[in-house]
Structure 1
Amino acid sequence: MNARERMLGRLRAAAPGATRGAIGADGAIDAADAADAIDALDMLDARIAAHYAGPRPDAAARIDALEAALRASRADVWRATAEEWPAQLAAKLAAHGVKRLLLDKPAAEGAALAGALPADMESLAFAGPLEAWKGELFNTIDAGFTVARSGIAATGTLILAPDAGTPRTVSLVPPLHIALVYADTLHATLHDAARAERWGDGMPSNLVLASGPSKTSDIQQTLAFGAHGPRWMWVVIVTERNKP
């Protein structure tokens, strides 16, 4: 077995009901005991699936739930079509006083937004490596724009999959994080997201789950925003995509 299979074997051997003798003193896994452990893990998966079984909310209900949960977390949320959102967002950014916006220009959404910005607002691509421009990033960038991979309606969570064009810094460092999510990517629950996106077949190396602006109450139980990340979060739910 390779390193991944050995690691998963150890985890499976620790599942409820698994044979504890599956792993020997030398770390080797007995084939028969490993099979029992895998069976136990499959039973656990079946119990979890049964817990979430039943009718799922329809598309409209998922949008309503996502918006309500995000608003409860102090995010600013609105809905727009693919044609409407760039101009709406550009106007809102101008009203907020944004002067420098971080976005992925080669991406379709980044290009659409950059084209709608007023002349006095600068759009910038992520100029990695971080060490070379972190002073500028932390001190002069007003907002970062990302496109969510999907969303979880029940918890008001956006699933971000950082890449070279939009690393996780874009959603964590600027004081304002703007996220665009397509309504047709919304899942009812985290369980639904993991199954539909087949996380079990190979988790992405990095996912960011965002459920509102950064907040903490570590100091004297006083709720404060922006201590560990963006102070504001805006979410645009795109209800209709551009037709091909």
Structure 2
Amino acid sequence: MSAKQNILGKLRKSLTGTTPIADNFDVDLVTQPYTYSAEQRIPQLRKLMEAVHTEIHLTSGAEWPVLLAQLLRDRQLPSLLIAPTTPHGQRIAQHWANNPELPELKSYDRPMEAWKAELFNDTPASLTGTLGAIAATGSLIIWPTREEPRLMSLVPPVHFALLKASEIRDNFYQVQQEFEWAQGMPTNALLVSGPSKTADIEQVLAYGAHGPKDLVVLILEDQ
């Protein structure tokens, strides 16, 4: 018998004759204190995310490409990485085509191994979509896909994220229920509240050590 089987056997034996504890989970305890009106969700999310150095901008579905272009110019960023086959990637490509003076667009359209050095050393910013956000914790829900892999939100020093106001949920429980995560967890769902940060043994906070040093969220308000 292996060590693992031995341990599991002891655990099962220890349960002999015991009575299972009743499941008295109270949904209200994890939802009622963290429920917000439509008018409260954006301010709540913004308060928590700005507290950890996330930059928030309110815009619209029509104007966000113009705002993004201005933010890139303000930071003097020479290029932006996009997923060209996503709706927002196509929208950016169209806007850039009409404004040739804007920073270079890079497309994530090849295997990472084919351009690893350029991705890690010469790609200053990226744009991704989001699955939504959680007002109670001030978190974005980022759902990497084949079109928009995790490295897009992890490697470039500046990460721009698009968030629809209508997709801000109240709390994590609501997200789990809506997407039925109990039936099967996603392989790679990310909850992101701010830029990457860490502290050394002297507790000196540093940004960008393990990911983007700047997180910029464009919230698209409903029309």
Structure 2 length normalisation: TM-score? Answer: 0.85
Letter in 2 for 1:20: L
SS of the counterpart of 1:170?
helix
Distance 2:117 2:30 in 1: 46
Equivalent in the alignment of 2:15? 20
SS of the counterpart of 1:203?
coil
Larger mean Cα displacement after TM superposition, 193-202 or 156-165? 193-202
Q: How many residues align?
A: 209
Equivalent in the alignment of 2:203? 221
Following TM superposition, the consecutive aligned residue runs of length 4 or more in structure 1 with deviations greater than 3 angstroms are none
Distance 2:188 2:57 in 1: 27
Equivalent in the alignment of 2:32? 54
Identity of aligned residues (%): 34
Return the offset for 1:21. 4.3
Equivalent in the alignment of 1:69? 48
SS of the counterpart of 1:54?
helix
Q: Tell me, yes or no, if structure 1 residue 105 matches structure 2 residue 87.
A: no
Equivalent in the alignment of 2:4? none
**Higher relative contact order, structure no. (Cα contacts within 8 Å, ≥ 6 residues apart):** 2
Distance 1:21 1:140 in 2: 61
Letter in 2 for 1:134: K
Return the offset for 1:206. 0.6
Distance 2:137 2:208 in 1: 20
1:187-207 Cα offsets, whole Å, 9 max, x none, are: 111122111221112111111
Equivalent in the alignment of 1:139? 121
Where does the alignment leave 5 or more consecutive residues of structure 2 unmatched? 1-7
Equivalent in the alignment of 1:119? 100
SS of the counterpart of 1:114?
helix
Indicate conservation of the 8 Å contact 2:83/2:109, yes or no: no
Q: Tell me, yes or no, if structure 1 residue 239 matches structure 2 residue 218.
A: no
Query: What is the RMSD of the two structures over their aligned residues, measured on CA atoms?
Result: 2.4
Structure having the higher helix fraction is 1
Distance 1:162 1:97 in 2: 27
Indicate conservation of the 8 Å contact 2:132/2:142, yes or no: yes
